[in-house]
């Protein structure tokens, strides 16, 4: 496709989203409409059942004797998913005495990369973006660096320099996330970078025109969640205001699973399982530190009007007379604010043709092992 100057128009929406679309493929709209039943559109994004909840940050250095690959598990409460994160090798250029020297640095994706990826999903939700399924589904996003910067400020209340945003995009485009999938009854290990096909403006182009468009495609697992209806609308700004990883992970869990919230319906989960599912993980050598982190996160959820109160029931460690606590069963009760938000979001998802039942029946299976989780709430439909 060409523009009026006879040049290829790489940022035409139909080029990127329709390139491998079959005639009868359905289009799934990610856009959150203006009509949001009391919800503020500018606060909202799409939360997926699997990809959005995977612990994808790595708090470690890579290279120079340190591992380039981090192996993790994610326990949904029904199954355990094994996956890996490979560090990104990023090219570095610097000028020394008028001579350009090239080298490289190795980075794992961290907090900033997570925020930038969420900003891309947010822009896809706020704009006119659709999923065009192929054998591997794709979601393409066009954006400007200023738009990413604005989302980080307006939604996450975080200032970030343009160069750091570019670095985060580069890390996301070079860090591989490998997940097992099943296609046509056959098992595969699918490795793909967090974002792919990144087309990023150069520094010279940005300084000449800071509205120049960039492009990337979100990870296939995000697109597959969308294709199978395994996603819902949620309040991203509310989640970001918590500014605590465990509290944010709990908010995601409640937003996705607790869509039948009411004043008489509490929600239960095992503390150890939830903490193990975070990027920081569970500290086996210092159990009390885990419980302290959990209590801080629950207090933050209460302070931000997500839950009204919580209750922790201790599970003692094995062994006669043992006084140490191996785990907690956590029960939380929602606030009226959270209940009203759930009702409004359910209405909006219904308008978009989504339902909780769709999230239970993915068309493309993720290969996993059966969960060893012993306790599960009847309200906890996806871990």
Condensed to tens digits (0 to 9), the pLDDT of residues 232-287 reads: 888 999 999 999 999 999 999 998 888 777 777 889 999 999 999 999 999 988 88
**Tally of domains in the chain:** 1
In a domain, 9, yes or no: no
Could you tell me how far CA 222 lies from the centroid of its own chain? 8
Q: 153 in a domain, yes or no?
A: yes
List Cβ neighbours of 41 (8 Å cut-off, separation of 6 or more).
Answer: 32, 33, 34, 126
With a pLDDT cut of 70, the percent of the chain lying above it is 78
Grouping H, G, I as helix, E, B as strand and the rest as coil, residue 56 is coil
- 3: in domain: no
Distance CA 182, CA 188 (A): 6
Query: Closest Cα to residue 334, out of 273, 225, 257, 241?
Result: 257
Q: Is the pLDDT of residue 26 over 90?
A: no
257 falls within a domain: yes
Q: Is residue 381 part of a domain?
A: no
Domain span at residue 330 reads 14-370
Say how far apart CA 291 and CA 313 lie, in whole Å. Answer: 12
pLDDT surpasses 80 at 372: no
Of 25-39, 45-59, 68-82, the least confident: 25-39
* Residue 7 domain-assigned (yes or no): no
- Residue-level pLDDT at 66: 83
User: How many other CB atoms sit within 10 Å of the CB of residue 92?
Assistant: 10
Q: Write the pLDDT tens digit of every residue in 291-315.
A: 999 999 999 999 999 999 999 999 9
Q: What DSSP designation does 139 have?
A: -
Q: How far apart are CA 45 and CA 233, in angstroms?
A: 6
- With 0-12 CB in 10 A as exposed, 13-18 as middle and 19+ as buried, what is 379? middle
Confidence of residue 323 (pLDDT cuts 50, 70, 90): low
- Cα separation, 12 vs 22, in Å, equals 19
Rounded to two decimals, the pTM is 0.82
Domain-embedded: residue 217: yes
Which of 185-189, 227-231, 284-288, 373-377 shows the lowest mean pLDDT across its residues?
Answer: 373-377
Asked if residue 320 is part of any domain, the answer here is yes
Determine the Cα–Cα distance for residues 291 and 284; give it in Å rounded to an integer: 12
Q: Kindly state the DSSP code that residue 58 receives in the 8-state scheme.
A: -
């Amino acid at each position: 496709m060409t523009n009026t100057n006879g040049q290829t128009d790489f940022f035409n929406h139909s080029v990127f989203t329709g390139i491998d679309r079959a005639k009868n493929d359905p289009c799934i709209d990610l856009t959150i409409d203006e009509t949001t039943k009391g919800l503020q559109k500018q606060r909202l994004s799409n939360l997926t059942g699997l990809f959005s909840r995977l612990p994808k940050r790595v708090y470690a250095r890579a290279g120079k004797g340190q591992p380039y690959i981090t192996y993790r598990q994610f326990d949904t409460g029904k199954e355990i998913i094994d996956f890996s994160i490979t560090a990104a090798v990023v090219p570095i250029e610097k000028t020394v005495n008028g001579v350009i020297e090239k080298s490289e640095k190795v980075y794992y994706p961290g907090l900033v990369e997570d925020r930038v990826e969420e900003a891309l999903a947010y822009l896809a939700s706020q704009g006119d973006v659709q999923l065009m399924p192929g054998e591997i589904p794709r979601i393409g996003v066009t954006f400007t660096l200023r738009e990413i910067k604005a989302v980080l400020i307006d939604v996450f209340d975080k200032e970030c320099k343009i160069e750091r945003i570019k670095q985060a995009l580069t890390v996301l485009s070079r860090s591989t996330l490998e997940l097992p999938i099943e296609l046509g009854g056959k098992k595969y290990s699918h490795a793909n970078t967090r974002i792919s096909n990144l087309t990023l403006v150069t520094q010279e182009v940005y300084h000449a025109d800071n509205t120049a468009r960039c492009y990337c495609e979100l990870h296939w697992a995000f697109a597959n969640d969308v294709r199978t209806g395994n996603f819902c609308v949620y309040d991203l700004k509310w989640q970001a205001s918590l500014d605590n990883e465990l509290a944010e992970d709990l908010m995601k869990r409640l937003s996705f699973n607790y869509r039948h919230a009411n004043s008489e319906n509490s929600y239960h989960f095992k503390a150890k399982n939830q903490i193990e599912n975070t990027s920081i993980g569970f500290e086996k050598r210092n159990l009390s530190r885990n419980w302290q982190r959990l209590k801080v996160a629950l207090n933050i959820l209460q302070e931000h009007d997500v839950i009204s109160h919580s209750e922790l029931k201790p599970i003692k460690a094995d062994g006669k007379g043992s006084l140490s606590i191996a785990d907690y069963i956590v029960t939380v009760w929602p606030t009226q604010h959270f209940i009203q938000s759930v009702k409004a979001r359910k209405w909006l998802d219904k308008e978009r043709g989504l339902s909780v039942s769709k999230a239970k029946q993915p068309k493309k299976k993720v290969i996993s092992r059966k969960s060893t989780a012993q306790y599960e709430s009847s309200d906890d439909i996806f871990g």
